Every structure is written in structure tokens, then in C-alpha cells.
Structure 1
Amino acid sequence: MNPSSWPALLVVDVEGNGTNPPDLVEVAALPVREGRPDKSTAGAWLTKPRRPVTPFATRVHGLTNQVLDGKPGWEEIADDVHAFLGTAWIAAHNAHVDYRVLSAHLPKWQPAGVIDTLRLAKATYPGLPKYSLDALIEFMQPDLTEAPAQRHRATFDAFATAQILLAMATRYETWDQLVAAAVPPGLPGAPEPEQEPTLW
């Protein structure tokens, strides 16, 4: 399959403050153009959460309350993020999490579809012991030399997810086949279940 024929697609990743439900602290959206991640037009935002970042969350992504203290609040950047995402397809690892958090923060946002690289990896590589992003990076060895920041930052994880998505996509002949394997039921873009034939 030629990724150049794909519809508009953004690989997204979000980082939160560790509360439940989470406040966002970082959002990254990386366009895939002509079959490769386009860092030159990527979007990345840091935002000060309403509630402090928990020590556990800081240990994961490294973002402290001090780092975020001077950043804009979500209400100041929400329109920019919404405009950047538009109605493009999104892809993410364990995508229902990113989709749910973004939808909670952007109630009027509706992507064309949601590709889950975790679901796609299970379909593409059945039998792996783990399907975490770390496990797939180790298994697939994508080229991350141009990845920004470091693991568990939104920009790095979006870049790594994009490389993994593009590598897996080579095993599918058409966009529709990829979608059938990668879009979780109930999320935007999921194929309609085939109707049982009836007598009437």
C-alpha cells in the first residue's frame, strides 16, 4: 500500500497530570505526509494543568509543576489544538485513551477516524508477549534518530508511533484493510458490521 494515498492523518499523543480524570499537560500531533512523519509541520503544546502534576506522572514523563508553571492554561490553547486537529484521522497507541482524553477537553472535536496501533500490532504480529510501545520499539527497531525529546514525552511517542504505524502498514494492501484491522469498534471510522441477510 502506498501511504501517499492516505487521507489526512495525524499521529497524536497526550501526557496528563496523573489525576483521574486527567488534566492535560502535553499534546503532540504529528502529520504523516508522503509516507513519512512531517516534523516541520507538527503541533506540540505544553499546558499548565488545573490540578498539580502528581509525583508518579512526573516520574513517567519528566514534566514538573515548575516546568509547567508559566505555560498557558488549557482554555488558552484549546482553540488552537482543535483547529490543528481539524477533521483529520488520528492514530495513537492504545488510541481509545488519547481519544477519550482529547474528546473530554475538546467537546466539539470529531476526527474522521481513530487508528489504534496497539490493535493493529496485535493483528499484524500475533503472538508477541507484549504490545506496549516500548515492546514494539524493541521488536520492530524503528529509526528514532530524528525523534524529538525522549520516551514518554508526547513528541517522542508520537514520532515513534508514526514509524511503527508506517512499518506495519506495509503489510496491508489497501487503506480499508488497514482500517479494518486498526480501528476499535465504537470509535470514529470503524467499519460498519456486516448485516445478516434477511428474508425481507
Structure 2
Amino acid sequence: MRQIVLDTETTGLEPAQGDRVIEVAAVELVNLLPTGATFHRLVDPERDIPSEATRVHGFTNGDLAGKPKFAEIAQDMLDFLGDAPIVAHNAPFDFGFLDAELIRCGKPKLDRSRMIDSLMLAKERYPGMPNSLDALCRRLGVDNSMRTSHNAVLDCRLLAEVYLELMGGKQPGFELAAALAGTGPVLAAVETVAWVPRPITVPEERAAAHAAFVQGKVKEALWLKPPFATVESD
């Protein structure tokens, strides 16, 4: 199962008011494990970056001078995304910006049926609690100590770990796969341990005392009737 974890950085919050994408990053997962395949592009937004946006992600106009326009990276991005489901934290935000950019350069919007919003997953699991990426990292034990500002590549890698936890917890080989990023999917060997039943033995006197207690306190106990009761034959 191939999925893509995606994040964007932008000049603001409203694509309808002229805000633009300045960074796109994506990380490939196969069976919920990172394969090491990534996509990352910085983009010239063709407009000024407001100072309040710079305080969030750290990018200035000078950082993006000479970078390609979105139209120049759009097809590479679409090729990397393929037809896989796309995981993003507050996914409608990222989809909204990418759709606006894709329309601007004459390409079709992303299919919303591919969208997986990890923020909604977190809200369902932790209702009424803070569910920002940082809050989830702290709650789920994901190390985000290197996250001093928004960074699309780092955010994708952190979200990949958070998403794995939201989908049921760490699987064997996750740390190995992360350590060997760039070598393709890694399957860790899992030792098979035979299950040995360990019945609890009840002393006869305890069993007799319990039976007498039940007989005196519980009338017509269902578990003493067929088919639950053990019937001995001659």
C-alpha cells in the first residue's frame, strides 16, 4: 500500500486572496513505512512574503529568489504523487493551495477522494485535546526537538511517524526503515514465538466452596445449564 505524506509552506492563509505556495515536500510510505523516497522543491511565489509568514516558516524573499515557479515543478510533483492517497495535517489547507496553483498553470485539481486528514484522525482519537503536530509528537513520543520552525521536509517526516501511531502504533522495522532511508522498503525479521497455554489450577476445596456459594446465591445460573454446563455421559 503506497501513500504519500505531504506538507506545504505558503505566503499566507488564503489562496483566494493571492497567497502562494513557497515550498512543497512529500515522503513516500509503503505499508505505513517510509521508503526513503522524497520530493522537495522551493518555489518562487512571484510575490512578496509578508513578515508574519516569515516568522512562521523562516523564508524570506531573498531565500526564494531564482527558484523555479510552481508551473515548472508541477508535473514533477504530480509524477511523485502518482495516484496514491495523500496524508496531510489539516489536509484541506494543503489541498486548497495546491489546487489553486494547479489551476493557475492549467492542470487538474487533486482528487479529494485521495485526501487523508491526519488532523481529523487525531481529533477523533483525542477529542478536546490539542492536536497540532507538535502536540501530537509530545503525546505520542515522537522526537521533534529539531523542529525550531516550520519546515516542510521535517514536518513530513514527523507526520509520517505520527500517522503511523494514529493508525495503530509502531510496527516492527519502523526505526530500521528510517535509519536506512534511501535504500527502499525494509522488512524487519520478526522472531516467531510459540504460544504456550498456561492454565490456572484452582484447588479442589476452593472450587467446591465457589460452587456452593453460587448455588446458594444465584438461582438458575445460565452457565450451569446446557449448552454451557459440562454434561458427563456414562
The answer to whether the superposition gives a TM-score over 0.5 is: yes
Structure 1 position 163 matched with structure 2 position 161: yes
- Name the counterpart of 1:154: 152
Q: What aligned pairs does 1:18-33 form with structure 2 within 5 A after superposition?
A: 18=12, 20-21=14-15, 22-33=19-30
| Matched letter for residue 157 of structure 2 | F
3-state SS of the aligned residue for 1:29? strand
3-state SS of the aligned residue for 1:106? helix
| Matched letter for residue 139 of structure 2 | F
- Name the counterpart of 2:98: 102
Structure 1 position 11 matched with structure 2 position 26: no
Stretches of structure 2 that go unaligned for 5 or more consecutive residues are 170-234
Q: Which is further off, 13-22 or 75-84? A: 13-22
What is the CA RMSD across the aligned residues, in angstroms? 2.0
- What is the TM-score normalised by the length of structure 1? 0.73
Distance of 1:150 and 1:33 partners within structure 2: 28
- Aligned residue pairs total 161
Q: Which is further off, 149-158 or 115-124? A: 149-158
Q: Highest Rg: 1 or 2? A: 2
Distance of 2:114 and 2:88 partners within structure 1: 11
- Name the counterpart of 2:139: 139
Q: What aligned pairs does 1:1-200 form with structure 2 within 5 A after superposition?
A: 7-18=1-12, 20-21=14-15, 22-38=19-35, 40-107=36-103, 108-111=108-111, 113-128=114-129, 130-144=130-144, 151-170=149-168
Q: Percent identity?
A: 39
3-state SS of the aligned residue for 1:28? strand
Distance of 2:114 and 2:73 partners within structure 1: 23
- What is the TM-score normalised by the length of structure 2? 0.63
3-state SS of the aligned residue for 1:42? strand
Q: C-alpha deviations, 1:91-117, integer Å up to 9, x for none?
A: 011111111111222241434511111
- Name the counterpart of 1:191: none
3-state SS of the aligned residue for 1:115? strand
